[in-house]
Amino acid sequence: MSAQIIDGTKIAAQITESIRERIARMERAPGITVVLVGDDPASNVYTSMKEVNCRKAGMRSEKIALPAQTSEGELLAIVERLNKDDSVDGILVQLPLPKHISDSRIIRCIDPAKDVDGLHPINLGLTQLGKGTLVPCTPKGIMRLLTECRVPIAGVRAVVVGRSNIVGKPIAQLLLHQDATVTICHSKTRDLASVTRQADILIAAVGVPKLITADMIKPGATVIDVGVNRVPDPSAPKGYALVGDVDFEGARSVAGAITPVPGGVGPMTIAMLMENTLLAAEARK
């Protein structure tokens, strides 16, 4: 058997198009400001992709790139200014931030109504209650992929590998709200394979290249690979290869459906960012 490959790029493009149509009918296009601190190459790529995609959808989009030495106080002041700026509907501060800045202090300073990442404690709390409007983008994108592909969720066993605030914890909550039986695994989990083998839906979000191998997957399972790891590869044009948390080649012969890396969850994260910005703009009106 060979798994259905879930085409995140295609689904994201359809969502972008419908967002573009909605924005075209609006009096004023929603606006997002993406803040990048430092010169992490991956963050640079992602924030540029976010800006370009937002423009494609007809959004106003601005990127503020700050030097790595920017102090926490300076960054807080910029966030405060964006909070007050009525032309800004969405604020996104790209993570990770340099070590001398506290992620959580910055996130807590963002106006929850403009927190299009859905990472402010208020938005994470509402997501946990099943009442979130601004739901974190990657988990929201994963749920959308599962729905688009008509993957049954109610009553199935879902296993989430990874417990980050940005993916693992919120995706577990969203799956629970759709009546899955959810298990969260992490670095201290004993006999990981025995747990993942029970999963009808397996979400890998740890950032360890090819951690999930074919023998850890239940035949026919839906496998969602959130990892975007850059592994040095001298033969690749950019000098690195993008590798997921799942050993794709092995997994595809066991899984029923699987997301590729690239072209799976990544593009959906960006599509959901645009959707959240649209929702934030509509709510602020």
> Which amino acid belongs to residue 245?
D
160, 228, 254, 258: which one binds ligand L34 (CB under 6 A): 228
Nearest residue (CB) to ligand L34, 250 versus 263 = 263
Q: Does 261 bind ligand L34 (CB under 6 A)?
A: yes
Contacting range for ligand L34; rule: CB under 6 A; set: 172-180, 190-198, 214-222, 260-268? 260-268
**φ, ψ (nearest 5 deg) of residue 148:** -55, -35
Closest chain position to ligand L34 (CB): 266
- 14 in active site: no
**Residue 95 contacts ligand L34 per CB under 6 A:** yes
User: Other CB atoms closer than 10 Å to residue 263's CB: what's the count?
Assistant: 16
Out of 13, 49, 149, 192, point to the residue binding ligand L34 (CB under 6 A).
49
Write phi, then psi, for 240 (nearest 5 degrees).
Answer: -145, 160
Q: Are 241 and 230 in contact (CB under 8 A)?
A: yes
Site for ligand L34 in 117-136 (CB under 6 A): 117
Work out whether 222 is an interface residue with ligand L34 (CB under 6 A).
no
Q: Is 248 in the site for ligand L34 (CB under 6 A)?
A: no
- 238 burial (CB, 10 Å; 0-12 / 13-18 / 19+) is exposed
Whole-angstrom distance, CA of residue 50 vs CA of residue 56: 10
Position 241 contacts ligand L34 (CB under 6 A): no
- Least Å distance, CB 217 to ligand L34, is 20
Number of chain residues interacting with ligand L34 (CB under 6 A): 19
* Nearest to ligand L34 of 37, 195 (CB atom): 37
CA distances from 99 to 43, 95, 212 (A): 15, 11, 29
Residue 7 among the catalytic residues: no
Closer residue to ligand L34 in complex, CB, 172/242: 242
Which is it for the CA torsion 203, 174, 92, 268, positive or negative?
positive
Residue 50 annotated to the active site: yes
Q: Which of 166, 157, 162, 229 is nearest to 192 (CA)?
A: 162
Contact residues toward ligand L34 (CB under 6 A) are: 45-46, 49, 92-95, 117, 137-138, 228, 242, 261-263, 266-267, 269-270
